[in-house]
A and B are shown apart, each in its own frame.
Chain A
């Protein structure tokens, strides 16, 4: 019997050693330790033996079983690792192949630019408000102190719907609507579409966008105007940016100024972008003319304010280097897609 056990063990070791797959391992396990295995048979047949013999043989048989199990376990780990390695080898992919194409849309550059500028002013406490694109002559010109004979009122400059209504030429009428509907403190910006009779070419468009700003409160002065727009310029064009305010004329502000920023391409040394001057004109601004405040019944002795307006396309063209304003309205996806 003992000899039989020793044969079983030797035979088992050979079989385990020869196993090369997880399936084969399972088969071997059943063959060696299953109900029909020679070892089980030996254990089963022990009933016929004497107590002493049984005890002795039992111990031997269990020892053989333990050694088989141990060997099986060791071999199992080995085979499993080998099998996994093989799987990984077969499943190797080319990581340089492209990913599955998911398309992400893109907002229009006009929207992006308005959003950027709005965020800056919102961080300074300006709310955003809007007005209609078709406006009254009153809101677009009269209330803004535009002289009756101002050339901008001409049919050659402004699109008219009737004698009293037109396509707004600026976002400033929103100023008027705000002043009419609200008492100070007033702190708003209004982005929107504007229209002027310009035949489209690389630098002109009959439709364009502006952002207008208005702040009316007690003791608002020109130094505040400078401070506020200086912050805006630094946020928009970088903290190195310097600003310069040149006196100018607008009917609805007085004193009026144009603001230049130091050229963000050359830093003020002079280059093609700033036409060698080191400065780039960005916006018009000034202290709100008392006539305009009076339209809203605002006490001009107590309250003062400033207003400013800038062209969105102009800022986008400068910031992103777009070389033709018509691209904004062609809506070629190759253009829109660049500003994701």
Chain B
């Protein structure tokens, strides 16, 4: 909300220091978007009058103007502006003057523009005639008549004023504060609303405009009847008729205020309606009464598939249930959004109907969104407006029309307002205010604070009965009033205390285990990634997920930003692949990365309506030292740290995203929890890597369930151990896992440890075979073992290995 300070001062007192004003407004709840200063950076620009115009001898598009600036000699100024004429009053930038710019057709320069006397195509120019933009106004607020040329004043000025300082004469020096209005305070989308906030903050009086009309005659009802067919969507419709209208530009003071507040002046009638909207926050519309057929205004929803041409000349299709303003035959405006081209105010308009109505905010909002048309009016209606404003705002419009001699007002409006909005009161206890604020603020202060906000406060002994003005529709419950007291009192004045009570803090077990996992993986040289929870559905194809794969059970977004973020991830591995690919293509030779995060499946959610959401862990590595076994080794170390035991691996040749010979299912206590393997070369290629990649993904929820971080003491071994190294010659397809299993099964309780220390294939063994070397450690718990008893057990182990795996003992 742009608030020009000079305008605001009409309604209340504003401190001289803008800095102080802004700071205290911020602290009472009116935050700032910024402050704009107009009239700054303008030096040596004076008022001039064009006394003669001659063509430029060398340039078709330029003219040479003779300009009287109150000196003996006229200046000669070359301009390309097409709108100059003899007698025009114009701003003249003299030799050595400064203007903020930007110059016509050029980008804005920091620090503005310096204007010098100079030659333009061979003709000396003593300075420059300025446009509104060149003097600091934005293009969007500049009146259409001035847009393609210089600024020509539309009022008369005494001769003696020629040459006087333009900034001073036109009152260009202005500060405009841009307030951020929160959605709960639509009443502040108005000058009067911000004046009320100012008055309450600085404890100064309010001055409301005097809207009393001079006329006492005439009834708008003679011109028009109003019918509201949809009372749920239109609470009030008030119409006032003005005759003998003279459409012309509005006076400079009004144009200036509109421009400073961000609106483009159009003509006196439209400007007055906009002025009052900015002043009261009530959108006003004016119709040319010649175009209202059947002397009738009907408020009703649009016909099915109705097309309607709005003021901006665009033909639009009305969405269903759009509220329309109709006459006896047809639509003449979209209620609360924009008027129709068929009834707009034109130059020869003589009689107008001024509409001040109250439309349902949700309905306006829905229609405005559906047709993609948001206006100053709809933005106000959609937040909810006090219907009581219609009366005073419409009165203000016709009063201004009277004041500006723009027409003849009729004394009596047509007002359809079947159920007027009454003020509602609320019980406010001082004790409650004190409890929430945490201080002993006195009931007197509370009362006085609420009164500053124009509320009526009645003392009912145990509580105050508070009645706010109806513009404050945000005030409903006691807590709303507590907030009012607190913000006006000042949050910064409240002391600082430490909350009572001393509870012991804890992390959830899940959080603790995830933190531990992250720390452990980092210690193992793995980096943590965080990737988007939403991905492209194509990731399933890139990962070679089969059509029936559960990884295609996607949760879909209704309104994604794009296909690449359209479904929730069902696995983390594709994201890991993407990260690996990105780093690979940025020339990283080796990468170890993991992500611990949620994955989603459409089916299987625990809570009704919500999808399945669970924590997953994925890791991916590439680089010349990496292999299936480095990844497996890191993963096993992680599980060790988490106290997860009973993990086994089993080859699985059927998972499409892995190398069929280098992939295993991971089992936890015999149940599958994930997979680990070399990523299929095609998948690797899909992610633009040209190296071997190893990856794993496990259901971390299951890992956490099995985790045990508590540790217990085991007495240190008292008796010496006996180790036996064996090398076993076996067929290639005999797995190390199987051999270990046989060794453990037959090693009795004396066998303490089995460890593979070498696998050999080559010249020393037959083709198709391999030699696996293990160390077996035997130890007695209660005594020193004798060589003979170890020998007995060891021979049994070898025998079983031979029988069950065909392993032959080989000399080391």
A, B: real partners: yes
Residue B600 interfacial (CB < 8 Å): yes
Residue B494 interfacial (CB < 8 Å): yes
How far, in Å, is A169 (CB) from chain B's closest CB?
A: 13
Q: Give the segment of B282-290, B456-464, B523-531 that binds chain A.
A: B523-531
Residue A54 interfacial (CB < 8 Å): no
With known contacts A105-B592, A254-B482, A161–B500 Cβ distance under 8 A: no
Interface size on B, residues (CB 8 A): 86
Residue B182 interfacial (CB < 8 Å): yes
Q: Give the segment of A38-46, A65-73, A224-232, A266-274 that binds chain B.
A: A224-232
Residue B808 interfacial (CB < 8 Å): no
How far, in Å, is B337 (CB) from chain A's closest CB?
A: 16
**Which residues of A from 133 to 159 have beta carbons under 8 Å from B?**
133-136, 147-151, 154-156, 159
State whether A105 touches B503 (Cβ < 8 A).
no
Q: How far, in angstroms, from A173 to B472 measured CA to CA in the complex?
A: 29
State whether A336 touches B497 (Cβ < 8 A).
no
Contacts A206-B534, A223-B494 aside, 11 further interface pairs with beta carbons under 8 A come to: A122-B507, A125-B503, A130-B510, A133-B613, A134-B555, A167-B557, A221-B438, A227-B496, A287-B436, A290-B477, A328-B530
Residue ID in chain A nearest B598 by CB atoms:
A133
Residue A129 interfacial (CB < 8 Å): yes
- Chain A residues with CB under 8 A of B243: none
With known contacts A134-B613, A149-B361, A290-B477, A245–B499 Cβ distance under 8 A: no
| Contact with B610, one of A135, A222, A328 (Cβ below 8 angstroms) | A135
| Contact with A224, one of B438, B482, B511, B579 (Cβ below 8 angstroms) | B438
State whether B525 touches A125 (Cβ < 8 A).
no
Most A-side CB within 10 Å, residue of B524, B525, B527, B607: B527
**Which residues of B from 576 to 614 have beta carbons under 8 Å from A?**
579, 582-583, 586, 588, 591-593, 598, 600, 607, 609-611, 613
State whether A219 touches B185 (Cβ < 8 A).
no
Residue A29 interfacial (CB < 8 Å): no
State whether B482 touches A255 (Cβ < 8 A).
yes
Residue A34 interfacial (CB < 8 Å): no
How far, in Å, is A36 (CB) from chain B's closest CB?
A: 43
| Contact with B529, one of A130, A254, A336 (Cβ below 8 angstroms) | A336
Q: How far, in angstroms, from A221 to B432 measured CA to CA in the complex?
A: 11
Q: How far, in angstroms, from A104 to B520 measured CA to CA in the complex?
A: 10
State whether B435 touches A304 (Cβ < 8 A).
yes
Residue B120 interfacial (CB < 8 Å): no
- Chain A residues with CB under 8 A of B499: 215, 217, 220, 224, 227-228
The 4 closest A-B pairs by CB, nearest first: A221-B438, A247-B29, A249-B182, A223-B438
Residue B521 interfacial (CB < 8 Å): yes
Residue B439 interfacial (CB < 8 Å): yes
How far, in Å, is B308 (CB) from chain A's closest CB?
A: 24
- Chain B residues with CB under 8 A of A165: 609-611
Q: How far, in angstroms, from A222 to B497 measured CA to CA in the complex?
A: 9
State whether B507 touches A127 (Cβ < 8 A).
yes
State whether B508 touches A115 (Cβ < 8 A).
no
| Contact with B491, one of A111, A124, A125, A222 (Cβ below 8 angstroms) | A222
Residue B522 interfacial (CB < 8 Å): yes
State whether B503 touches A162 (Cβ < 8 A).
no
State whether A134 touches B568 (Cβ < 8 A).
yes
Q: Give the segment of A14-22, A84-92, A191-199 that binds chain B.
A: A191-199
Interface string of B27-49 (1 = CB under 8 A from A): 11101000000000000000000
| Contact with B436, one of A103, A193, A206, A221 (Cβ below 8 angstroms) | A221
Interface string of B338-373 (1 = CB under 8 A from A): 000000000000000000000001100100010000
Residue B487 interfacial (CB < 8 Å): yes
How far, in Å, is B617 (CB) from chain A's closest CB?
A: 14
Measuring CB to CB, which residues of chain B are less than 8 angstroms from any residue of chain A? 26-29, 31, 182-185, 361-362, 365, 369, 382, 435-439, 477, 479-480, 482-483, 486-487, 491-492, 494-508, 510-511, 515, 518-519, 521-534, 555-561, 565, 568, 579, 582-583, 586, 588, 591-593, 598, 600, 607, 609-611, 613
How far, in Å, is A160 (CB) from chain B's closest CB?
A: 4
Provide a sorted-by-A list of 30 A–B residue pairs whose CB atoms are within 8 angstroms. Answer: A125-B505, A127-B503, A128-B505, A128-B506, A130-B510, A133-B613, A147-B183, A156-B559, A160-B558, A161-B555, A167-B534, A167-B557, A187-B501, A193-B533, A195-B533, A197-B561, A207-B532, A221-B436, A221-B439, A223-B497, A226-B494, A226-B497, A231-B498, A247-B27, A247-B28, A255-B483, A329-B530, A331-B530, A331-B593, A337-B527
State whether A164 touches B480 (Cβ < 8 A).
no
| Contact with A249, one of B183, B365, B559 (Cβ below 8 angstroms) | B183
How far, in Å, is B703 (CB) from chain A's closest CB?
A: 17
Q: How far, in angstroms, from A107 to B521 measured CA to CA in the complex?
A: 9
Task: Tell me what chain A mostly uses at the interface: helix, strand, loop, or mixed.
Answer: mixed
- Chain B residues with CB under 8 A of A289: 479
Q: How far, in angstroms, from A94 to B207 measured CA to CA in the complex?
A: 86
Q: How far, in angstroms, from A47 to B157 measured CA to CA in the complex?
A: 153
Residue A80 interfacial (CB < 8 Å): no
Interface string of A263-287 (1 = CB under 8 A from B): 0000000000000000000000001
- Chain A residues with CB under 8 A of B533: 133, 167, 193, 195, 207
How far, in Å, is A210 (CB) from chain B's closest CB?
A: 14
Residue ID in chain B nearest A336 by CB atoms:
B527
State whether B435 touches A126 (Cβ < 8 A).
no
- Chain A residues with CB under 8 A of B565: 206
Residue A52 interfacial (CB < 8 Å): no
How far, in Å, is A167 (CB) from chain B's closest CB?
A: 7
Interface size on A, residues (CB 8 A): 86
**Which residues of A from 94 to 122 have beta carbons under 8 Å from B?**
102-108, 110-111, 115, 118, 121-122
- Chain B residues with CB under 8 A of A161: 555-558, 611
With known contacts A151-B183, A247-B487, A257-B491, A185–B501 Cβ distance under 8 A: yes
State whether B591 touches A102 (Cβ < 8 A).
no
State whether A132 touches B486 (Cβ < 8 A).
no
- Chain B residues with CB under 8 A of A333: 527, 583, 588, 591, 593
State whether B503 touches A185 (Cβ < 8 A).
yes
How far, in Å, is A85 (CB) from chain B's closest CB?
A: 40
Q: How far, in angstroms, from A240 to B185 measured CA to CA in the complex?
A: 35
Residue ID in chain A nearest B583 by CB atoms:
A333
Residue ID in chain A nearest B614 by CB atoms:
A132
With known contacts A105-B522, A193-B533, A226-B496, A246–B610 Cβ distance under 8 A: no
How far, in Å, is A178 (CB) from chain B's closest CB?
A: 12
Residue A3 interfacial (CB < 8 Å): no
Residue A330 interfacial (CB < 8 Å): yes
Residue A244 interfacial (CB < 8 Å): yes
Interface string of A201-241 (1 = CB under 8 A from B): 00000110000000101011111101110110000000000
- Chain B residues with CB under 8 A of A149: 361-362, 365, 382
- Chain B residues with CB under 8 A of A290: 477, 479
How far, in Å, is B517 (CB) from chain A's closest CB?
A: 11
How far, in Å, is B662 (CB) from chain A's closest CB?
A: 23
Residue A23 interfacial (CB < 8 Å): no
Residue A319 interfacial (CB < 8 Å): no
| Contact with B437, one of A221, A245, A336 (Cβ below 8 angstroms) | A221
| Contact with B592, one of A103, A118, A244 (Cβ below 8 angstroms) | A103
Q: How far, in angstroms, from A225 to B184 measured CA to CA in the complex?
A: 22
Q: How far, in angstroms, from A187 to B498 measured CA to CA in the complex?
A: 14
Residue ID in chain B nearest A244 by CB atoms:
B492
Residue ID in chain B nearest A191 by CB atoms:
B511
With known contacts A222-B491, A222-B494, A255-B483, A159–B500 Cβ distance under 8 A: no
State whether B593 touches A104 (Cβ < 8 A).
no
